[in-house]
């Protein structure tokens, strides 16, 4: 399918305006295809001119423009040319379109638990033409009239309220104007929990095999939904605009969620089958609030073109954490943001592919998707948090209200947003935008002190040489000794290219000195040598979770920049994790620390590190209360070499009560046994027979490929290369284990294969799916110069999509960081 160029979109928007869409979908045609009839009514500013409509169909029955037949052969590369346009036009397209298995278009999945099929629509970013004929760009909004034919007994929902007029025949109310990438329909034998809040009908949906889990989690999710609706309506001064509010948890979803107006889709892993810790519930709650924020910012007011995609996502990221912290039980949401989201963003901002938050020239839809990353989400969120501090929260909120009310049901740009904020402040937004939004890179902030009490202070901001910028930082600094907070400065501004004085003179010189202690700005804190040396003893004693999170950010990012020895990170984890009380920090450090150390430590130290991490997990289990045992027990399952214990857990024996019956935990133990070479295919298949679900099938794929044998690795590559029936999630399940091995000699010969197979996979998987697989499969654990050289050679010589290229560039950058660390600290 042709890639839409921005200049083409600008010209098409200049030429036409879309009045309405009438879409009729027939989901009963077959298991592989559905019927799609579309009528588009549009005006042309220059009668006699030509344009094109987007369509990707398996077959086309008829095309009529203003009553005149167009032969289906005119459709080429996903485009139908339209000539001799009149002032007012009507286009009708009747087609048959394929269901997909890559998470885009109309995705159809069959749950092997009960052989029931589920369908959901994913039109983002340019997938709408895989559902219906349309002018697929965000600034050609229009209302929709939708009808759907589905098997009798199915639940059917979309962007507006619907009613079943006959058995299996559904008619939807006319929608408000929508961008094409928001169009969705969800249909299937979904389990549903319904509620209502202040006149807004609410519904939660999940596949039938998750019905009991949906009902178990529904009260909490509905509570978050209601709290969010109240918070946003009060903050924005605009009532929820989309009628009903459906939330579908759908199988094999590529992203966390998608903000379709009135009908949000989520990955169904959020309906936890087993135990769910507070961090996981918070993550789900935050995602619910993120997508809800889009109902106003993104859906009600949409970007004109994809170069402003960041503003949608940065704003929703900011509002989700703000509302989570202010309106729900999760008042520590900013701690979770710092350890989970910001570390993702810091890595993206260090990579060669870094880019400014805004002002990126998205010349086409493919290049827009490459910037759909931790910079557009986490860094943009941090910039907006700084903006609210810079202009004052009242001015910020008033500006947001103006922006939403002025551009409701239309499109807007960054300039429109800053104009709205600027109407409520005298602050210099032009300079602020240049420094924060239009410049790449992450500043480092270092605070050096002398004397006790402190007599000399040097607080410096270092901007990356490759990306010079002037970003003023509003932040604070705190000092600790023996776990006691000795002092904390008021929030002050650190800026300029010179070293500036921070308000520390006369204060006690602490053992632990933490810049950006409240994590108000986007920066990597650089710790003095004395602080680094004290961390294993000091960090476990610090009572402020936000400060502990900032310290972990400094450690993890310092390891990535070869300024912190990975052994210091391991030593600090050993002392801090067993006594950590914040569940977000427990959850994320238990994932991030082992993963980083698996690449940054020399080969000869990795097994010992895993042993030490397992011992740390056991100490945490021994010290934990019943409700805090889940995270360390999961960590132990991923690192233990105790075969008897792992086999007992697989058998659902000797498991802590909080995890009893948790099938996903049992899979973790089995996958660890497979990684150790202690189970074979027959044992994996026998266990999978007890979990005949989509999730169980994917866990079995991981278990098979992670085994430390040449046959297992060869099987995995054969599946990725030749099995065209694999779904996006199946490919991902294989990718996560294909380079895991106790000895790099086992998988080193497959490095060349990665750079050959993964780019080719994009030909049958969508951009989202192939990028994720490329990220997960990259052999960063083969931490050698030869791996880096192979990556650079592939980037020079192998044809690949923009998003697979971005994945390889980013993972190769992490590999190079690990190599630099080894050169500095030994290895």
The residues that are catalytic are 291
- Cβ proximity of 25 and 12 under 8 Å: no
Contact (CB, 8 A) for 523 and 444: yes
Structure tokens that stand for 399 in this block? 């500006």
- Residue 712 CB-half CA count within 13 A: 28
Report the distance separating Cα 736 and Cα 170, nearest Å: 41
DSSP string covering 772-800, please? HHHHHH--TTS-SHHHHHHHHHHHHHS--
C-alpha to C-alpha distances, 563 to 11, 112, 468, 525, 556, nearest whole angstrom: 50, 49, 21, 11, 10
Rg (the chain; Cα; Å): 27
Element (DSSP H or E) covering residue 103: none
Token pair, residue 651, equals 């058998």
Contact 227, 208 (CB under 8 A): no
Element (H, E) at 81: strand 79-82
Longest Cα separation, the chain: 87
| Angle at 227 (CA atoms; ends 224, 233), nearest 5 degrees | 135
Q: Are the beta carbons of 135 and 16 closer than 8 angstroms? A: yes
> What residues have CB less than 8 Å from 84, skipping those under 6 apart?
48, 50
- Measured from the Cβ of residue 297, the count of other Cβ atoms closer than 10 Å reads 25
Residue 577, φ and ψ in degrees, nearest 5: -60, -45
Distance CA 794, CA 811 (A): 13
Q: Could you tell me where the DSSP H helices lie in 209-277?
A: 211-236
The closest of 217, 225, 222 to 273, measured between CA atoms, is: 217
Answer yes or no: are the C-beta atoms of 297 and 319 closer than 8 Å: yes
The token pair at 512 is: 């632990």
């Amino acid at each position: 399918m042709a890639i839409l160029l921005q200049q083409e979109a600008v010209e098409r928007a200049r030429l036409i305006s879309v009045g309405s869409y009438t879409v009729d979908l027939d989901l009963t045609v077959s298991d592989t295809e559905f019927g799609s009839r579309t009528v588009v009514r549009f005006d042309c500013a220059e009668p006699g001119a030509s344009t094109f409509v987007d369509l990707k169909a398996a077959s086309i029955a008829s095309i009529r423009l203003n009553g005149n037949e167009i032969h289906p052969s005119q459709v080429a590369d996903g485009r139908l040319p339209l000539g001799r346009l009149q002032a007012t036009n009507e286009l009708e397209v009747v087609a048959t379109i394929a269901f997909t298995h890559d998470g885009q278009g109309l995705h159809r999945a069959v749950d092997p638990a009960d052989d029931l099929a589920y369908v959901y629509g994913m039109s983002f970013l340019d997938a709408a033409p895989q559902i219906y004929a349309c002018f697929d760009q965000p600034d050609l909004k229009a209302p929709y009239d939708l009808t759907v034919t589905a098997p009798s007994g199915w639940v059917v929902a979309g962007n507006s309220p619907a009613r079943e007029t006959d058995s299996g025949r559904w008619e939807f109310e006319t929608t408000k104007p929508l961008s094409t990438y928001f169009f969705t329909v969800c249909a299937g034998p979904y389990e549903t929990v319904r509620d209502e809040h202040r006149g807004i009908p609410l519904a939660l949906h999940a596949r039938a095999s998750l019905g009991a889990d949906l009902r178990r989690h529904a009260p909490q999710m509905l509570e978050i939904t209601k709290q969010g609706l109240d918070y946003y309506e009060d903050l924005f001064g605009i009532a929820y605009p989309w009628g009903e509010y459906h939330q579908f948890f759908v199988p094999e979803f590529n992203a966390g969620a998608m903000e379709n107006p009135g009908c949000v889709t989520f990955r169904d892993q959020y309906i936890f089958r087993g135990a769910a810790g507070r961090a996981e519930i918070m993550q789900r709650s935050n995602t619910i609030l993120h997508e809800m924020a889009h109902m106003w910012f993104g859906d009600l007011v949409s970007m004109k073109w994809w170069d402003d995609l960041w503003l949608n996502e940065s704003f929703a990221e900011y509002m989700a954490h703000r509302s989570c912290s202010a309106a729900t039980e999760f008042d520590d949401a900013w701690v979770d943001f710092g350890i989970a989201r910001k570390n993702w963003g810091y890595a993206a901002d260090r990579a060669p592919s870094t880019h400014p938050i805004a002002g990126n020239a998205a010349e086409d839809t493919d290049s827009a998707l490459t910037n759909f990353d931790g910079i557009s989400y986490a860094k943009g969120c941090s910039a907006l948090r700084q903006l609210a501090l810079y202009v004052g929260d009242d001015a910020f909120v008033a500006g947001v209200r103006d922006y939403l009310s002025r551009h409701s049901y239309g499109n807007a740009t960054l300039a429109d947003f800053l104009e709205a904020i600027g109407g409520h402040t005298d602050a210099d937004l032009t300079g602020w935008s240049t420094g924060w939004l239009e410049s790449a890179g992450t500043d480092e902030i270092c605070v050096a002190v002398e004397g006790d009490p402190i007599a000399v202070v040097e607080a410096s901001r270092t901007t990356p040489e490759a990306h010079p910028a002037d970003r003023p930082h509003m932040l604070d600094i705190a000092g600790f000794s023996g776990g006691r907070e000795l002092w904390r400065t008021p929030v002050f501004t650190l800026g300029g290219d010179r070293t500036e004085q921070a308000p520390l003179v006369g204060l006690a010189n602490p053992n632990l000195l933490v810049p950006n202690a409240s994590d108000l700005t986007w920066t990597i804190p650089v710790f003095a040598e004395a602080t680094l040396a004290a961390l294993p003893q000091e960090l476990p004693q610090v009572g402020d979770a936000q400060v502990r999170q900032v310290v972990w950010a400094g450690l993890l990012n310092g390891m990535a920049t070869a300024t912190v020895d990975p052994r210091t990170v391991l030593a600090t984890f050993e002392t801090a994790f067993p006594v950590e009380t914040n569940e977000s920090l427990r959850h994320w450090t238990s994932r991030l620390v082992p993963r980083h150390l698996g690449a940054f430590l020399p080969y000869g130290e990795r097994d010992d590190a895993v042993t030490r991490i397992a011992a740390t997990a056991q100490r945490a289990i021994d010290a934990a209360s019943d409700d805090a045992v889940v995270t360390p027990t999961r960590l132990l399952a991923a690192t233990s070499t105790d075969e008897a214990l792992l086999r007992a857990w697989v058998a659902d024996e000797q498991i802590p009560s909080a995890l009893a019956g948790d099938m996903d935990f049992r899979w973790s133990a089995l996958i660890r046994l497979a990684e150790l070479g202690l189970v074979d295919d027959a044992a994996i298949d026998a266990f999978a027979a007890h979990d005949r679900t989509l999730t169980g099938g994917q866990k079995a794929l991981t278990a098979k490929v992670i085994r430390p044998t040449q046959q297992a690795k060869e099987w995995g590559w054969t599946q990725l290369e030749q099995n065209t029936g694999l779904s996006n999630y199946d490919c991902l399940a294989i990718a996560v284990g294909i380079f895991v091995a106790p000895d790099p000699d086992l998988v080193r010969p497959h490095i060349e294969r990665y750079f050959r197979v993964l780019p080719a996979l994009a030909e049958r998987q969508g951009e989202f799916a192939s990028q994720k697989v490329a990220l997960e499969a990259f052999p960063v654990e083969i931490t050698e110069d030869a791996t880096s050289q192979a990556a650079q050679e592939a980037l020079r010589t192998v044809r690949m999509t923009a998003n697979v290229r971005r994945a390889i560039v980013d993972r190769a950058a992490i590999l190079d960081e690990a190599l630099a660390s080894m050169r500095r600290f030994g290895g």
